Every structure is written in C-alpha cells, then in structure tokens.
C-alpha cells in the first residue's frame, strides 16, 4: 500500500496551478511559439517540456525495420491493370498503416512549391488578425526536451499533407515510431477516425507525432 502525504497532493496541485498561470501569461502575449523563437530564446520554457516518458526516446525510433509505404499513381487512369494494382496498394496501406505517401499524383511541382512558400511567408509576417490552415514549426533550441506535435490521431475522414524537406513526421506502426521521409512533390495521406468508423475498422486511424528540430522552420 502506498501512502501519500497531504504535502504531496498540495505540491502537485501547486505545480498544476503554476503551469496554468504560465500558460495563460503565454497566451495573453498573442505572440505564440514563433514569438519566443524570434526573441532568441536558448532554452525551452518549462511549460513546453514533456515528462521523460513522453519524449522521443519513449519508443524505439532507431534503425526501423519498416519501410513507409510509397504509392506511385502514374498510369492509374490509363491502364486497367495498373489501376487495380494501385487500388490494391492503397487498400493494403490503409488497412495496415493508416498512412501512405503518393507520388506522380499530377499536381505540378510549381504549385506545391508555391503552397509551401506561401505558408512560410504568411507565418513570417508581423502578427495580425489573420489565420490559415497550416502547421508552421519554428526551430527549437532543445528539441530533445519537447515535441513539435504530441502523438494523436486525426478525427476527420482523411488528411492530405504536403511537408517540406525538413521532415519530423512519425507514424506509430507495430509499437514503433517510423519516420515519414520527406520526398519532393510527394503527398502524405492519413486515414482519420471517421473513415475507420464507417469502414468498420477495415481502414485504421493511427497515432502520429511531429518531432521538434534545430534545423529550421518546418511546414
């Protein structure tokens, strides 16, 4: 039997209270994480430091035995045999991974590059009352202590992601974090919770996360 003193509970409550105050103070600045980076911070603020068990080393990420599925869409509308092969690959990846990359999808590389550049330029502007549907992760001085985005699954049907060259996206597959290698022009497809629901768990929605990094901003 473990006996905890009142002091232990008070200490926990105080830490929780202090963190809430820090978070509110941070939110009130309206500057966001990018504001901290622009200010030249050299250490991650305490409110963003994760418990050791939740950091990147909590599950094996080294020398993964798995190869993230990449599906080539070239010829899908021209050859019936090729069409079936691609559909089978999409089905298999959706059932076993819940994630896959597609290449040769027909979207010009110039359009993809403009999307990335436009997102970067938007977040590099001075703060205004504007919004955009995108993720922009500034460089982090101590990436080993925190996470770009903590593990989660998406609640929608399907998500299509265009990521830049920096990388950092990881997918949980058979209890191992697997890197999603950035590939120029490739799109990452993510099965969401609702698609898993309406497919009666045939297609799976899996947890994924984004690692923080020192390299530079990531889109």
pLDDT at 120: 78
Q: Does position 165 have pLDDT exceeding 70, yes or no?
A: yes
Distance CA 147, CA 59 (A): 14
Which among 52-56, 129-133, 136-140, 164-168 has the top mean pLDDT?
164-168
The pTM of the full predicted model, rounded to 2 decimals, is 0.66
The pLDDT tens digits for 106-115 are: 999 999 989 8
CB-count exposure of residue 210 (10 Å: 0-12, 13-18, 19+): buried
Distance CA 161, CA 159 (A): 6
CB-count exposure of residue 89 (10 Å: 0-12, 13-18, 19+): middle
Domain 51-210 belongs in CATH node 3.40.630.10: no
CB 119 within 8 A of CB 136: yes
Residue 138, CA distances (Å) to 34, 38, 120, 166 in order: 6, 9, 10, 11
Q: Does position 16 have pLDDT exceeding 70, yes or no?
A: no
pLDDT at 21: 77
The pLDDT tens digits for 18-47 are: 777 777 776 666 666 667 767 667 777 777
Q: How many residues does the chain have?
A: 219
Answer with the residue of higher pLDDT: 6 or 100.
100
Element (H, E) at 10: helix 6-29
């Amino acid at each position: 039997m473990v006996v905890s003193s009142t002091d232990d509970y008070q200490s926990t409550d105080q830490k929780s209270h202090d963190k809430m105050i820090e978070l509110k103070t941070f939110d009130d600045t309206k500057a966001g994480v990018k504001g901290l980076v622009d200010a030249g911070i050299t250490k991650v603020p305490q409110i963003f430091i994760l418990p050791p068990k939740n950091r990147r080393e909590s599950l094996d990420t080294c020398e993964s035995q798995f190869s993230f599925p990449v599906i080539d869409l070239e010829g899908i509308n021209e050859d019936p045999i090729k069409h079936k092969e691609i559909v089978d690959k999409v089905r298999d990846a959706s059932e076993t991974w819940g994630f896959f990359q597609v290449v040769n999808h027909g979207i010009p590389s110039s359009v993809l590059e403009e999307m990335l550049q436009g997102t970067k330029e938007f977040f590099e502007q001075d703060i205004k009352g504007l919004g955009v549907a995108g993720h922009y992760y500034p460089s982090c001085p101590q990436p080993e202590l925190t996470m770009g985005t903590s593990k989660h699954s998406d609640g929608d049907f399907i998500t299509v992601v265009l990521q830049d060259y920096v990388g950092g996206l990881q997918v949980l597959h058979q209890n191992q974090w697997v890197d999603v290698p950035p590939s120029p022009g490739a799109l990452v497809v993510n099965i969401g919770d609702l698609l898993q629901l309406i497919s009666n768990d045939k297609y799976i929605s899996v947890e994924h996360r984004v690692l923080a990094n020192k390299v530079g901003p990531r889109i």
